[in-house]
Amino acid sequence: MIYLDNSATTPPYPEAVNTFTQVSQQFFGNPSSLHSVGLDTEMLLTKARSSIARLLHIAPSELIFTSGGTEGNNLAIKGAALEHQGRGKHVITTEIEHPSVKEAFFHLEKIGFEVTWLPVNNEGRLEVETLAESLREDTILVSVIHVNNELGTIQPIEEIGTVLKDWPKAVFHVDHVQGMTKVPLSFKEAHIDLCTFSAHKFHGLKGTGAIYIRSGVKLSPLFHGGSQELAHRPGTENVAGIAAMAKALRLSLEKKEKERDKMERLKENLINALDKVEGVYVNTPRKGSAPHIVNFSIPGVKPEVLIQALTKKDIHVSTRSACSSRLHEPSEVLLAAGKSRARAESAIRVSFSLETTEAEIEALLGELHSQIPELLKVMGANKK
């Protein structure tokens, strides 16, 4: 099997699965219980929290565990907006956010908040000047994705954080789900207030994630019913998943350090090869994009047809975010970046992990060279 849909989810490390299994069996107690079984589990939870915080260079008290990126983004966005609506109801985001962010902002609009949707340039990148011009005295929240999940474009988070330093009323949230372990980001140096990530994007298990909440930042919780996670996220913690996430994060960062340029080299080689395939248009920018995502279009070819043709050869790619991949509308991200409707309707996303090999990319290219001309003949003329 050649798996090239790592932006949707990654195969869990065997070490992470083993950790999950061992903790599930040996530390099954409720960490809120006062007996020794519960206290032992709480001790392990504390150890995992400290381990992740150390890797991210933050305080353990600034780390709150969630079920993943969607919950984290909703908690950050709705929690900040509801908590601080007394000082303003203007919030800002971009046109190329993940659905879990966009839908959260649509909800805020429905309940009376004013949302400014910022445009991006033809590389899918937000211009810092555009953001600066949109800030107002009643702006209470700015949310910008770090690495776009479709194009792979990296947003200028550090520069945005510098601008927002002068706007203390505005809470700065970053969706770091696609960037974690692939594109370095210092929460402190970028002046980030809230930052979300999800374990299954870096070889942990699904159903586990976290949100960084800078010390002093307050959120209104989405759930009520307990004091777990400093009352930000009530509910019995998934200790086994959290321990597995700590293991996966450490292993991923170690592997990234050892093979710093591997994914970047794979990306460059794939883009260079795709540029030579007739009928293919690369959408991912060569510079300023994450090392693990390549997005390209084949106008005139339905992406689901190509995906199924590749799947029959045991090669697995995707169209866009897994949350939207079953929708048959054109990519809103590509349209926002000024791509034609034909390109937005025919986009394919290839995404690597550190386990991806050059031979796998060569196999993909071989199939594309074989499949694309035939599909173009069947489906009609290619239109840029």
Q: Please identify every residue annotated as catalytic.
A: 323
- Integer Cα distance of 81 and 105 in angstroms: 10
Number of H helices, E strands in the chain: 12, 12
Question: Alpha carbon of 206 to those of 13, 231, 232: distances in Å?
Answer: 12, 23, 21
Q: How many Cα atoms sit within 13 Å of 135 on the Cβ side?
A: 20
- Assess contact for 288 and 277: CB atoms under 8 A: no
- Integer Cα distance of 156 and 171 in angstroms: 17
How many CB atoms are located within 10 Å of the residue 332 CB?
18
- Assess contact for 204 and 12: CB atoms under 8 A: yes
- Integer Cα distance of 50 and 42 in angstroms: 12
Could you give the strand order of the β-sheet that contains 209-213, starting from the edge strand earlier in sequence?
63-66, 209-213, 194-198, 171-175, 139-145, 90-94, 114-118
- Taking the CA atoms of residue 52, residue 56, residue 59 and residue 64 in that order, the dihedral angle to the nearest 10 degrees is -60
Phi, psi of 218 (to 5 degrees): -110, 140
- Quote the tokens at residue 108: 């805020």
Locate all alpha helices (DSSP H) within the chain, ordered by sequence: 14-26, 36-56, 69-83, 99-110, 128-134, 157-164, 239-258, 262-274, 303-312, 332-336, 341-345, 358-379
